[in-house]
Chains A and B, each alone.
Chain A
Amino acid sequence: MKTAGALVWFIVAALLLRSTALTALGTRGIVFDVLAFATVVWALRNGPSWGATFGFALGLAADLDAVHWIGRHALVLSLIGYAVGRLRATLVRDSSRTHAVLIALGTLAHQVWVLAFEAGDPAGWPYLLKHVGLALAVTAPIGTVLLALINRVSGSILFEHVVPQSRSAP
């Protein structure tokens, strides 16, 4: 019940950020993929079932807001949530490098899938590829720093069953 409540709050926060500050930043070339970031973080913290559920719910809410192509965000985010949740079981170190790679992969998958719907003609591909590149270049480093800050402030680690890198045995 506690997780479900937190899920709703996390979704609301992500959607709020997306529809206010981040859309305005996006038009100025700063593309922070908050949907992919939130899904990766949630899946890392709560595993594949909750990861997929979070991705699906967040994606569906984003789809309803966009009018066209309902289901495109929901599909890719639920799969990202599931995949990252599964990876969580195999990861052994809670390091910033791992966070960066996972956020980058999640962002790449989300952006490529979503923008594929916009790519009708090859002439538009360079712009879309630039957009994907920008999203990767912004989301991965900022997301990693954000996670590091959250970890430092809260004093906890994301993967409950592993040892953080700084505290691991030599």
Chain B
Amino acid sequence: MGGGFLPPAERRTSVLVGVYAALSLLLLLTGDRIPTALLRGFGAWLFAPLDRVVLTVDRMAAAWRENRSLHERVTNLEVENQKLRMAGVENSELRRYLKLPDWQSYRLIPAEILSLSGEPKPTAATFSTGDRHGVHQGDVVITGEGLLGRVEEVYGGLSRAALITDPGSAIACEIESTGVLGVLRPSSLPSPRLVLTGVPLSDTVRVGQMVLTSGMSSRFPRGLRVGVVNGVGRDRGGLTLDIEVEPAARLSRLRHAFVLVNDRREEP
């Protein structure tokens, strides 16, 4: 009866669980200081082919349906594009008269979304484009509907973006046509949602108005669609408006996205 009350096998198991628990607690306390980007990069590289296989079934089922609606949309956009080209020429001339700098030009790199992570709502996504496709850290990611997030980590053929729902996200925004400025942040109260903060009570904001990036920070260019005002109230302190924003990009149906690459940065 040497040593302890438990049989040896149970003692070993208890020690093992103790080690796991201690390791987990240690990671919880010190994990933020450990550089884990390299490990995530390896994980993304390892899982990318498997993600593609799993997603193929889903993509094939949706492809036929999407193709039909895309044909219709392309036709409508062609017509709209013609009008916008003419307006663009006018706009450039007017900006030249007013001595305002030209709009920055961006190139779109298409990317497939391989996986999503985050609870209870997705806060990060892994994309099928990376360093070798010209994607850089800090590039903006959008979908056809609106802003999705910003590239945080770039690996060879893959990249990982923090979505606008990431707890650390803060986006300088404006309300379309009125120019009311604010900062869009995710909030977990009373449920996960996006809130436009820092808007004075004296400003008028209405449900249904479009929220765009304001270009007030260098992180996001001006004029990207972010979402629609879903509700307006007072913040808990009663000093500013609490504007709930419904994201334009449908986070529950993410398949493809585009990385915005600033062409000027790429010039030598």
Contact of B24 with A78 in the complex, beta carbons under 8 Å: yes
Binary per-residue interface labels of chain A (58-78) against chain B in the complex, 1 for a CB within 8 Å, 0 otherwise: 011101111111111011001
CB interface residues, B 1-42, toward A, < 8 Å: 12-13, 16-17, 20-21, 23-28, 31-32, 34, 36, 39-40
User: Which among B49-57, B78-86, B227-235 touches the partner chain?
Assistant: B49-57
Contact of A24 with B253 in the complex, beta carbons under 8 Å: yes
Contacts of B23 in A (CB 8 A): 56, 71, 74
User: Which among A90-98, A118-126, A150-158, A162-170 touches the partner chain?
Assistant: A118-126
Residue B115, interface by CB 8 Å: yes
Residue B121, interface by CB 8 Å: yes
Contact of A127 with B190 in the complex, beta carbons under 8 Å: yes
Residue B192, interface by CB 8 Å: yes
CB distance from B111 to the nearest CB of A (A): 16
Q: How far is the CA of A157 from the CA of B126 in the complex (A)?
A: 38
Residue B120, interface by CB 8 Å: yes
Contact of A27 with B252 in the complex, beta carbons under 8 Å: yes
CB distance from B47 to the nearest CB of A (A): 7
Residue A115, interface by CB 8 Å: yes
Known: A27-B251, A75-B21, A127-B192. A67 touches B124 (CB 8 A): yes
Binary per-residue interface labels of chain A (24-35) against chain B in the complex, 1 for a CB within 8 Å, 0 otherwise: 101110010000
Contacts of A120 in B (CB 8 A): 188-189
Contact of A48 with B13 in the complex, beta carbons under 8 Å: yes
Q: How far is the CA of A146 from the CA of B47 in the complex (A)?
A: 25
Contact of B39 with A64 in the complex, beta carbons under 8 Å: yes
Binary per-residue interface labels of chain B (199-234) against chain A in the complex, 1 for a CB within 8 Å, 0 otherwise: 000000000000000000000000000000000000
CB distance from B188 to the nearest CB of A (A): 5
Partner of A123, one of B25, B40, B190, B253: B190
Binary per-residue interface labels of chain B (100-116) against chain A in the complex, 1 for a CB within 8 Å, 0 otherwise: 00000000000000111
B interface with A by C-beta (< 8 Å): 12-13, 16-17, 20-21, 23-28, 31-32, 34, 36, 39-40, 43, 47, 50-51, 54-55, 58, 114-122, 124, 126, 167, 188-192, 251-254
Show 9 residue pairs from A and B whose CB-CB distance is below 8 angstroms, ordered by the A residue: A15-B47, A19-B114, A27-B121, A52-B13, A71-B27, A75-B21, A124-B188, A127-B190, A131-B120
A interface with B by C-beta (< 8 Å): 12, 15-17, 19-21, 23-24, 26-28, 31, 48-49, 52-53, 55-56, 59-61, 63-72, 74-75, 78-79, 82, 85, 114-115, 118-121, 123-124, 126-128, 131
Return the 7 tightest CB-CB contacts between A and B, nearest first. Answer: A70-B31, A71-B27, A75-B24, A127-B191, A19-B115, A27-B252, A71-B28
